[in-house]
Amino acid sequence: MPRKLMAANWKMFKTWEEACQTARELVVAVRKDLPDDREVLLCPPFTALRGVSEMLSRQEGFYLGGQNFYPAEQGAFTGEINPDQLLDAGCTYALVGHSERRHVIGEKNGFLASKVAFGLKKGLKVILCIGETLEERKQGEVQSVLHRQLEQGLQHISSATSPEDLAVAYEPVWAIGTGETAGPPEIEHAHNLVRDKLKSILNQAEQIRILYGGSVKPDNTASIISLDNVDGVLVGGSSLSAEKFSQIVLA
């Protein structure tokens, strides 16, 4: 079975120095006790990628990721970053389609599909984020939303894509940064829907890691990652503290 991926998304928090300090503290806290079935991924702001990369260098089981990228080799795309630049900074992974990119920045499924395909082509491991809003859940649209986001988001990749190169993060939009967390039945149901849909798209769908994201905390991580089809977590606020995130990683 693939190892659990314990991912931290620091969003638009931390200066270079703060990010390096948090990464340093995290490595010290967990490197000796990191279980063989766990991997740790840090996604700091772009300005801190190089510094955090140095903190993680030669640390087995620790990886660096970008929070976003633009699907082009280079060009007049002010404020954007491309996969080669992420790789050059030490990244192995990149997020695509985080709910804040979808609902704040306005990125659509078609554009996200081009990101997934381009990122994989360039050699990044891609984590596609999906999830429903509270209104969509109340209207009974969870399955249709998740299936649509998967179908459209993965439309340009090969069915033979390696499961080592792709992961999916289920993030109910209403549970991100709100303190609300989907209960075990809701998480398990959503992850089962995702797994079933992946089976219709990819040859090795059983090996694709499906992460849960949405107000993950030290006291609820163990119950979440013990659920069927939950292969790790994507953590926002609680990952900003090395102490809290180390507890999550080791849960």
Any idea which residues carry the catalytic annotation?
A: 98, 171
104 token code pair = 């704040």
Instruction: Please provide the distance, in angstroms rounded to a whole number, between the alpha carbons at the two ends of the chain.
Output: 18
187: which 2 tokens?
Answer: 């998480």
Taking residue 203's Cβ as centre, other Cβ atoms within 10 Å add up to 13
- 122: CB partners within 8 A, 6+ apart: 82, 83, 84, 87
The Cα 52–Cα 42 span in angstroms is 8
- SS3 call for 95: strand
The DSSP symbol for 9 reads E
Which helix (H) or strand (E) element contains residue 7? strand 4-9
Helical (H) or strand (E) element with 49? helix 49-56
Q: How far apart are alpha carbons 159 and 144 in whole angstroms?
A: 21
Q: How far apart are CA 55 and CA 101, in angstroms?
A: 27
The whole-angstrom separation of Cα 150 and Cα 129 is 9
The encoded tokens of residue 12 equal 């638009």
Tell which residue, 53, 113, 128, 117, has the closest CA to residue 85: 53
